[in-house]
Amino acid sequence: MEILWANGFYKDINLDDLQSLDGVIALAGAAICSAIQEYETGVYKRVKFSVAKSGDTYHSIRRYISDKISPNTELATRLSSLKIKMKERGEERLGL
């Protein structure tokens, strides 16, 4: 999540729209998945993360959020809490 604030990606995120944070979570998950796959192969080289390379993982995570997490009251509450904390941290970082 640090990359969002350090590189200014937050400018494109509507922190008032908690639904938009699902995309941020999915993007972070896809980036982590990519890093784990690199680690598992033992190939350590700097690569540019791109939607083209990780789009399937991103969309899979988005589907999981909408199909599995959102319908489950307990999980939806936890996800909502996470997104509120993300929003608060973003506002704190931006001085809003």
Paired tokens of 83: 């997104």
Average pLDDT over the chain, rounded to whole? 77
Mean pLDDT of 5-28: 71
Render pLDDT for 47-85 as a digit per residue (tens, 0 to 9).
666 666 678 888 888 899 999 999 999 999 999 998 888
Q: Tell me what pLDDT residue 33 has.
A: 81
Check if the beta carbon of residue 83 is closer than 8 Å to that of residue 89.
no
Which has more pLDDT, 85 or 39? 85
- Interatomic CA distance for residues 60 and 83, integer angstroms: 19
Domain ranges of the chain: 16-89
What pLDDT does residue 3 have?
53
DSSP notation for 7-50: TTGGGG--TT-TTHHHHHHHHHHHHHHHHHHHHHHT--------
